[in-house]
Amino acid sequence: MWRFVSVLGFSVSMASAQAAAPLILVFGDSLSAGFGLAANAAWPALLDQDLAKQGKSWRVVNASVSGETTAGGLTRFPQALKTHQPKIVLLQLGANDGLRGLPLAEMEKNLASMIKMAKASGAKVHLIGMQMPPNYGANYTESFAAIYPRLAKQHSISLTPFLLAPVYKNIELFQTDQLHPKAEAQPLLMKMVEKDLGKLI
């Protein structure tokens, strides 16, 4: 009986410790949601595992949704902040805006609004950028890519300029749609983001 109570107490203590651990909220689209991958194979889950292996107390929660635009994210974001109360937000949105040719001014405005909301809640923000394929035209692709460093500078936040930087030149690391990275690519994405987070974690 004593052993059962002790084990139960240990389990409760572990659960309490996990609940009390500072939280990193990943808020993105299919590139973070793990489209086409097995459960817990996407880079946010790998980040959670890697931080635990390092003995760091951070907990990673992935609130990413496949197909999400910045407008859709903006509608979900206040509740996500309220529910999870993160210490750090990894904001990875914009790819679907770009692929659909949506107005870049609106995309930038939506991202800025989410950055401001997160900072107002007390969270630090790390922005994760994307780039568009060259067939969208030089003017659009260059204007799109410039949004992320501009926002990072304006709001004094850290930045990963291009999530797919470690893998985009290797087509074998992509699924058949040539848009979403395979499971083999996820550790490379995770390591880059983790390095860019730097002193935040």
Catalytic residues: 30, 177, 180
* Residue whose C-alpha is closest to residue 128's, from 88, 71, 84, 78: 88
Contacts of 168 (CB under 8 A, 6+ apart): 131, 162
CA 45 to chain centre: 10
Please list the residues that pair with 174 across neighbouring strands: 181
Distance CA 77, CA 57 (A): 24
Phi, psi of 78 (to 5 degrees): -60, -40
Are 186 and 167 in contact by the 8 Å Cβ rule? The answer is no
Residue 94: left (phi > 0), alpha (psi -120 to 50), or beta? Answer: left
